[in-house]
Every structure is written in structure tokens, then in C-alpha cells.
């Protein structure tokens, strides 16, 4: 790392942590296959099973459920990759990075960007797999889809970092994921639209940050109106900014390396 320019050293550390996340993941091909195929089967089975009973502006439930399935791919990819924070602490790597002269902001940046990159790439593979299977969406903009997937990947990666930083055991992290993240996904609009839900469910969806990420992603596939997409983008970007600031703050705290 550069000793002459602290900024260069910071970005060297970010790049190292980012690359470490990528290499670690692709050395485990079973994780790659599971991260892609599990949501794909979930999407196909659920979508086919309830498709005939679903009616939302006459659209196919498989089409409606597709953005939610992408969100599930992102959830699995981003959050599970942040488990490396717990592993790095247990192996002593995290303590070594925190004891080095680089800025502690390098840790959340490198980890979040690495996790988000993995989530983005796996989502792309999922979309490609669906396209090969014959799924088509008319009037979609690939750049809007890429932007929506990137934003959702950053959201889940930052949330995963904030959660994983608090845990010293992978079991505890998994328990929290099942208790918090899966309900957040259920209430994101992935399975059903807010319009047909009861009042208290709509309230929970409205205060769920992932609801707006799903709205933005759904709009990229033409399932949501443009005005809803704009408000969802603003809300998602605001939540992401707050979570990133929180990630910087928790990374500065002493005592997490013991």
C-alpha cells in the first residue's frame, strides 16, 4: 500500500478486500449454483402454483413475481457473502486490517462493494437463465434494470454488513436473517402487491425499506408506474446513504476485534 498518499492506501485496501470477496466466493462453486438455482426454482414453482388465482391488471403472476425473485437472488448473494466478516474476525484477518494504518472506512467499503458485485453478477446470471428459458418482458430498458439491480445489491450488502458486524457466530447471523430479512422480503411486494393487502400489512410494507427497492426494480421490468419508480428511487437512495453512514460508524468502534 502507498505510504506517500493515504488516499491511495485507502483505495488499495478497498480493492484488496473487494477482490478477496470475489475470489473467496468463486472458489466455492456449490454456492454459485445454489444461489442461482434455488431462487429460480422458487420463482417457477410459486409462480406456476398460484398463477391462475392471481389477478393484477391481467398480468401473469410469473411476470409479477420475477422482480421479487431477483430480489431474493440479491438477498441470498449479498447477505450470505457478508458472513465472511464473521469468518475474517474468527481467523484474525479482520483484526489485522483494523490494526493497519489504513482508514477503517476501507473495511465497509471493500466488503460492501465486494458483496454487491457478487449479488449483481448472480442476478445477471439469473436473468440470463430466465431469458434462455423463454421469459420475455416487452418495453424494458436494460440500463434501468442494471441500475435497479445495482441499487438493490448495495442495499442488501450494506444491511448484511451492519448485521454481520454485530455477530461472532454464523449460527446467530443465520437466525437473525431468518427472523428479520425473510419477513422484510415477504413484505417488499415480491409476493403480492400492496394494493390488495389489509391495512396493517400495507403499513408494514410502507415502512419496509426493501419495499421501495422492489418498487424500483419492478418498474424497470414495466410492472410499476413511472411516478412510483421515481419516489422508490429517492427512498431507496436515501436509505442506502443512511445505512452506509451507519456502516462507517460501526467500523470505527473499538472493541469489535476481540
pLDDT tens per residue, range 36-95 = 677 667 666 665 655 555 554 445 777 778 888 889 889 888 877 888 888 888 877 777
At 139 the three-state DSSP class reads coil
Asked if residue 45 is part of any domain, the answer here is yes
Helices (H) and strands (E) in the chain, counts: 12, 0
Exposed, middle or buried: residue 239 (CB in 10 Å: 0-12, 13-18, 19+)? middle
Q: What is the mean pLDDT of residues 220-248?
A: 83
Q: Does 199 have pLDDT greater than 80?
A: yes
Asked if residue 244 is part of any domain, the answer here is yes
Confidence of residue 175 (pLDDT cuts 50, 70, 90): confident
Per the document, the length of the chain is 258
Asked if residue 113 is part of any domain, the answer here is yes
First to last CA, the chain: 25
Q: Does 99 have pLDDT greater than 80?
A: no
Asked if residue 240 is part of any domain, the answer here is yes
CA 46 distance to own-chain centroid: 21
Asked if residue 257 is part of any domain, the answer here is no
Asked if residue 32 is part of any domain, the answer here is yes
Number of separate domains in the chain: 1
Confidence of residue 113 (pLDDT cuts 50, 70, 90): very high
Tell if the pTM clears 0.75, that is, is over it. yes
Cell of 252: 470505527
Asked if residue 146 is part of any domain, the answer here is yes
Least confident of 117-121, 247-251, 254-258: 254-258
Q: Which residue range is the domain that position 79 belongs to?
A: 6-252
* Helix 142-164 vs helix 83-91: crossing angle, to nearest 10: 40
Instruction: Tell me what pLDDT residue 150 has.
Output: 94
Q: Is the dihedral of CA 27, 35, 63, 231 positive or negative?
A: negative
Amino acid at each position: 500500500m502507498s505510504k506517500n498518499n493515504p488516499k491511495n492506501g485507502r483505495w488499495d485496501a478497498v480493492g484488496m478486500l473487494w477482490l478477496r470477496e470475489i475470489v473467496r466466493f468463486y472458489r466455492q462453486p456449490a454456492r454459485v449454483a445454489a444461489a442461482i438455482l434455488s431462487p429460480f426454482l422458487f420463482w417457477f414453482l410459486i409462480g406456476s402454483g398460484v398463477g391462475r388465482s392471481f389477478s393484477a391488471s391481467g398480468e401473469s403472476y410469473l411476470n409479477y413475481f420475477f422482480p421479487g425473485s431477483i430480489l431474493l437472488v440479491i438477498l441470498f448473494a449479498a447477505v450470505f457473502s457478508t458472513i465472511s466478516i464473521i469468518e475474517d474476525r474468527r481467523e484474525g484477518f479482520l483484526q489485522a486490517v483494523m490494526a493497519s494504518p489504513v482508514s477503517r472506512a476501507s473495511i465497509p467499503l471493500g466488503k460492501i462493494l465486494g458483496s454487491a458485485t457478487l449479488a449483481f453478477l448472480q442476478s445477471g446470471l439469473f436473468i440470463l437463465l430466465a431469458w434462455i428459458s423463454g421469459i420475455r418482458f416487452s418495453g424494458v430498458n436494460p440500463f434501468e434494470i442494471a441500475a435497479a439491480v445495482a441499487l438493490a445489491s448495495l442495499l442488501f450488502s450494506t444491511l448484511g454488513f451492519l448485521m454481520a458486524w454485530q455477530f461472532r457466530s454464523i449460527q446467530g447471523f443465520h437466525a437473525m436473517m431468518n427472523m428479520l430479512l425473510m419477513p422484510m422480503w415477504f413484505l417488499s411486494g415480491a409476493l403480492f402487491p400492496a394494493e390488495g393487502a389489509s391495512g396493517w400489512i400495507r403499513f408494514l410494507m410502507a415502512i419496509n425499506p426493501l419495499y421501495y427497492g422492489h418498487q424500483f426494480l419492478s418498474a424497470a421490468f414495466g410492472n410499476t408506474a413511472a411516478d412510483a419508480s421515481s419516489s422508490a428511487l429517492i427512498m431507496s437512495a436515501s436509505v442506502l446513504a443512511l445505512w452506509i453512514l451507519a456502516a462507517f460508524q460501526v467500523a470505527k468502534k473499538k472493541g469489535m476485534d476481540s
